[in-house]
A = this chain, B = another copy of it.
Amino acid sequence: MTTINRMSEVAEVSPQEWHIWRTFHLMRRQLDRALETQLQGDSGISAPDYEVLLALFEAPEKQLRSRALGDLIGWEKSRISHQVSRMAARGLVERRECADDLRGTWVRLTADGHRAILGAMRKHATKIRQIFLDVLTDAEKDVLLSASARVLDAIEPRGCASDNNSN
């Protein structure tokens, strides 16, 4: 048992596949770290703040149901709820309940939240360009797009994401 020294032996994944996975994984971690540092340093907003602000900014009428917001960002319901509470306390978003509508709370971007995301975006996009978009060729970006879409499909086949629960 203790003679195993390579994860590829344990995992029944070829050493080359394991190398690809680990390199990809490290890249994702370092990308997150670099972007978080930039956001916090330039604009004083955290990565979770940014995720929520951007999802609402891009939504029709700058609002989403809480559940849809979670699906877009990839967070559990409780994490969305806590994050929205903190951001509402700072005036960046607001919750709206509809008494005759059982499909859940709406979360809407406020004017302050709108200013915050617009103010943060230019420098953030410059960083995304510098460490990601400008580093890759067009062909690589195409591969990345189709590969990402297929991985998303494998994680959660399209059309089933919101059918399990009405809230």
Interface residue ranges, A against B (CB under 8 Å): 1-2, 4, 6-7, 10-13, 17, 19-21, 23-24, 26-34, 54, 57-58, 72-76, 114, 118, 121-122, 124-125, 128-133, 135-136, 139-141, 143-156
A153 to chain B: which residues have CB within 8 Å?
135
If A10-B118, A33-B74, A128-B13 touch, whether A20 touches B145 (CB-CB below 8 Å) is: yes
Judged by DSSP, the binding face of A is helix
**What's the nearest-Cβ distance from chain B to residue A138, in Å?**
9
**Taking the nearest CB of chain B, how far is it from the CB of A9, in angstroms?**
10
Are B121 and A10 in touch, CB under 8 angstroms? yes
CA distance A58 to B29 in the complex (A): 18
